[in-house]
């Protein structure tokens, strides 16, 4: 019996898909080479904007025939859209067998077996945090250990930004016990993982809900002590929660990489307030200044949204000016998409779609210009790469990531894959760099 998983959305969803794959592997399933070959297809969905939902529905439409022609097949929809739309999915796509929310995906094998016995459809949407989900997550991640691994440490979000569906579909914040995280990473490392990205919708909120009251900075300190682990990354960070302890951890802990993803979302105080972000532009600039003064090499990336309800041309231009001043290394940029049930979706002053898209193009153009300039300024630097494979672009080249999370390609022998290599950055691109391998400080 073979399975295929199609993943939409963020890294948390990718981590969840990895977990489902490992659970299925452990129950005798095997990954399918193609959809046609699969007996079980899971769509692990995203609800954050309209587009990923459309994509999922359109794939469900395409899979109607696949499901109809196989009486023993199983079609499952998991993740955030499943949590949001629930049984409504069945009205649009009655050929779906399983709807599984954001807290029960580890039960995929058990649910698929029940469908095979004739029980369908099955809908599992409870939102209580289930600790078995965490344990199972650890076992699964370890089974799939790779050079670089994602490790969720806090699930859910308790923030309620006025545009965002995530707290509604992922529930409130729930942190994992620190020793479970350490054990998981130690097992990953014993199987070859060298870099972990510690994940959460708001990773800096880690520990607040734990009885022992640990902070995120303290978690980083504990992870720093894991032998054989080379690099620690974390994402994503709410600007309100960047404490002095976090800045000190990035500056002082040798394994913690010099990169922070710090979503700004908007560039005027009125918009930030209406978004319920809980910080001002001044606070954001202050955090950036502190980070750059204490960690000079740091790369800062962001998320930015345009066309939030009530955003005027003047607001937008002011946002662009602030944006230009900060000079982000890279950015995920979005046109606002109304999400049913959120406060902003109910506002009468929605910005027309065309205007939102036109502003998005202007923002992207500006960001591309800044990103290439920022990268050009780093040409000539000697940096450490974690070499993770051969390059997709540029045949015969190896690919690695700098500590600042920039892709860098260079010529070198494949035995370097999985090691740390020093390179000099020789040419800047929008996507990263071309580099030259250094051996004992010399170019080869």
Query: Strands of 195-199's sheet, edge to edge?
Result: 148-152, 195-199, 231-235
> Which stretch in 36-44, 105-113, 163-171, 179-187 sits in contact with ligand SAH by CB under 6 A?
163-171
CA 348 to chain centre: 31
Q: How far apart are CA 6 and CA 28, in angstroms?
A: 19
Question: What is the total count of residues that contact ligand F3S (CB under 6 A)?
Answer: 13
22 touches, from ligand SF4, ligand F3S, ligand SAH, none (C-beta below 5 to 8 Å by class) = none
Q: How many CB atoms lie within 10 A of CB 67?
A: 18
Stretch that binds ligand F3S, among 22-30, 129-137, 164-172, 230-238 (CB under 6 A): 164-172
Enumerate binding residues for ligand SF4 (CB under 6 A): 157, 159-161, 164, 166-167, 201-202, 238
CB-nearer residue toward ligand F3S: 176 or 194? 176
Minimum Å gap between C-beta 80 and ligand F3S is 3
Q: Is residue 85 near ligand F3S by the rule CB under 6 A?
A: no
Interaction between residue 78 and ligand F3S (CB under 6 A)? no
- Please return the burial class of 27, using the count of CB atoms within 10 Å of its CB with bins 0-12, 13-18 and 19+: middle
Q: For ligand SAH, which is the closer residue by CB, 279 or 336? A: 336
Q: Is 387 exposed, middle or buried (0-12, 13-18, 19+ CB in 10 A)?
A: buried
Between residues 127 and 376, which has the closer beta carbon with respect to ligand F3S?
Answer: 127
160 binds, among ligand SF4, ligand F3S, ligand SAH, none (CB under 5 to 8 A by kind): ligand SF4
Q: How far is the CB of 418 from ligand SF4 (least distance, A)?
A: 34
**Is position 170 an interface residue for ligand F3S (rule: CB under 6 A)?**
yes
d(CA 305, CA 319): 10
201 binds ligand SAH (CB under 6 A): yes
Among 137-145, 278-286, 330-338, 350-358, the segment contacting ligand SAH (CB under 6 A): 330-338
Q: Which is nearer to ligand SF4, 159 or 404 (CB)?
A: 159
The site partner of 432 among ligand SF4, ligand F3S, ligand SAH, none (C-beta below 5 to 8 Å per kind) is: none
Is residue 166 a contact point for ligand F3S (CB under 6 A)? yes
Report yes or no: 258 and 250 within 8 Å, Cβ to Cβ: yes
CB closer to ligand SF4, 44 vs 159: 159
Nearer to ligand F3S, 53 or 97 (CB): 53
CA distance 80 to 202: 16
Pick from 83, 337, 367, 375 the residue near ligand SAH by CB under 6 A: 337
The answer to whether 303 contacts ligand SAH (rule: CB under 6 A) is: yes
Sheet holding 98-100, edge to edge: 30-31, 2-7, 40-45, 74-79, 98-100, 122-124
- Residue 216 lies near ligand SAH (rule: CB under 6 A): no
Which are the contacts of 442, defined by CB distance < 8 A and separation ≥ 6?
A: none
Residue 236 near ligand SAH by CB under 6 A: yes
d(CA 207, CA 55): 35
CA 232-237-242 angle, 5° bins = 95
Q: Which is nearer to ligand F3S, 47 or 268 (CB)?
A: 47
Q: Are 67 and 75 a contacting pair, CB within 8 Å?
A: yes
- Residue showing tokens 């009205």: 91
45 binds ligand SAH (CB under 6 A): no
Helix (H) or strand (E) holding 363: helix 353-378
**Can you tell me the distance from the alpha carbon of 21 to that of 78, in angstroms, rounded to the nearest whole number?**
13
Partner touching 49 among ligand SAH, ligand SF4, ligand F3S, none, CB below 5 to 8 Å by kind: ligand SAH
Q: Provide the terminal-to-terminal Cα distance of the chain, rounded to the nearest Å.
A: 50
- 167 contact choice in ligand SF4, ligand SAH, ligand F3S, none (CB below 5 to 8 Å, kind-dependent): ligand SF4
- For ligand F3S, which residue of 46, 56, 306, 351 counts as binding (CB under 6 A)? 46
Q: Do residues 371 and 329 make contact, with C-beta atoms less than 8 angstroms apart?
A: yes
Chain mean position to CA 278:
22
The yes or no reply on residue 242 touching ligand F3S (CB under 6 A) is no
For residue 52, the number of C-alpha atoms closer than 13 Å in the C-beta half-sphere is: 19
Among positions 3, 4, 5, 10, the unique one binding ligand F3S when judged by CB under 6 A: 10
Cα–chain center distance at 211: 27
Residues that bind ligand F3S (CB under 6 A): 9-10, 12-13, 46-48, 79-80, 165-166, 169-170
Residues that bind ligand SAH (CB under 6 A): 48-49, 157, 163-164, 166, 201-202, 236, 238, 263, 265, 303, 305, 334, 336-337, 339
């Amino acid at each position: 019996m073979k399975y295929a998983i199609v993943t939409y959305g963020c890294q948390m969803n990718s981590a969840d898909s990895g977990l489902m794959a490992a659970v299925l592997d452990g129950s005798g399933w095997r990954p399918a080479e193609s959809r046609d070959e699969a007996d079980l297809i899971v769509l692990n969905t995203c609800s954050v904007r309209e587009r990923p939902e459309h994509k999922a529905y359109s794939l469900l439409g395409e899979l109607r025939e696949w499901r109809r022609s196989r009486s023993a097949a199983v079609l499952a929809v998991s993740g955030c859209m499943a949590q949001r739309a629930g049984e409504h999915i069945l009205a649009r796509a009655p050929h779906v067998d399983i709807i599984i929310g954001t807290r029960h995906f580890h039960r995929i094998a058990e649910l698929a077996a029940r469908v095979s016995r004739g029980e369908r459809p099955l809908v599992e949407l409870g939102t209580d945090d289930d600790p078995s989900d965490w344990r199972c997550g650890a076992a699964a991640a370890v089974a799939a250990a790779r050079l670089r691994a994602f490790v969720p440490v806090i699930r859910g979000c308790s923030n309620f930004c006025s545009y965002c569906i995530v707290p509604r579909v992922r529930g409130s914040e729930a942190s994992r016990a620190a020793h479970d995280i350490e054990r998981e990473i130690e097992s990953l490392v014993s199987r070859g993982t060298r870099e972990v990205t510690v994940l959460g919708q708001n990773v800096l909120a880690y520990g607040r809900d734990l009885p022992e009251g640990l902070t995120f900075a303290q978690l980083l300190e504990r992870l720093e002590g894991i032998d054989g682990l080379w690099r620690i990354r974390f994402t994503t960070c709410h600007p309100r929660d960047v404490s002095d302890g976090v800045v000190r951890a990035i500056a002082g802990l040798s394994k913690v990489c010099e990169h922070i993803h710090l979503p700004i979302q908007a560039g005027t105080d009125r918009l930030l307030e209406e978004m319920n972000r809980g910080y001002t532009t001044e606070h954001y600039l202050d955090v950036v200044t502190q980070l750059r003064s204490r960690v000079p090499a740091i790369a800062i990336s962001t998320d930015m949204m345009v066309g939030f309800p009530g955003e005027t041309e003047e607001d937008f231009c002011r946002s662009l000016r602030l944006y230009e001043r900060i000079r982000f290394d890279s950015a995920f940029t979005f046109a606002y998409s109304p999400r049913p049930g959120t406060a902003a979706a109910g506002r009468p002053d929605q910005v027309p779609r065309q205007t939102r898209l036109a502003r998005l193009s202007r923002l992207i153009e500006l960001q591309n210009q800044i990103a290439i300039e920022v990268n050009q300024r780093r040409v000539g630097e000697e940096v450490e790469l974690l070499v993770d494979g051969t390059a997709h672009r540029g045949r015969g080249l190896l690919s690695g990531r700098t500590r600042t999370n920039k892709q860098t390609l260079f010529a070198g022998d494949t035995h370097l894959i999985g090691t740390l290599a020093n390179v000099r950055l020789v040419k800047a691109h929008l996507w990263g760099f071309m580099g030259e391998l250094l051996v004992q400080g010399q170019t080869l």
